Amino acid sequence: MYNLRVRTQAAEAEIRDALFQEGFTGTENYYYINLQKYFVYADLIANTIHIQFRYGQSVRSYELIRALIQRICKRVNGIIEDQSVLGFLPDGRPAGIFRNWEEWRQHMAS
């Protein structure tokens, strides 16, 4: 599973509202959304949203997930912490859904 975090100072109720506004379902700090056949999971732990999704999706699916995470981050005034790796660039640098994203996306399209 690909893992990243969104850290925020927003209140838990505000974070839950942001997740629900983006289409997530769930209770007790565990939420999920079916985003075009791919599930994205979110756990809320101490003002941090832990987000997970499976590897092996299309670049388009990753773009949708990335946009979803950006919207959530904006709603809760959060900071994205992304250390997971989707793949590697030709020069060997790791790339993730936020780290070196544009270069990785272009590399995958070529």
Query: Which residue shows structure tokens 């773009």?
Result: 63
Q: Give pLDDT, residue 57.
A: 85
Torsion of CA 18, 84, 7, 35, to 10 degrees: 0
Q: Give pLDDT, residue 27.
A: 85
In a domain, 31, yes or no: yes
The CATH code of the domain that includes 52 is 3.30.1400.10
pLDDT by residue (tens digit) across 76-98? 999 999 999 999 999 999 999 99
The two structure tokens encoding residue 91: 């020069």
In a domain, 11, yes or no: yes
**Residue 25 scores a pLDDT above 90:** yes
Full-model pTM? 0.92
**Residue 49 scores a pLDDT above 90:** yes
**Residue 110 scores a pLDDT above 90:** no
If one counts the domains in the chain, the total is 1
C-beta of residue 98 within 8 angstroms of C-beta of residue 78 = no
* Residue closest to 71 by CA, chosen among 109, 17, 34: 17
Number of H helices, E strands in the chain: 3, 8
In a domain, 109, yes or no: no
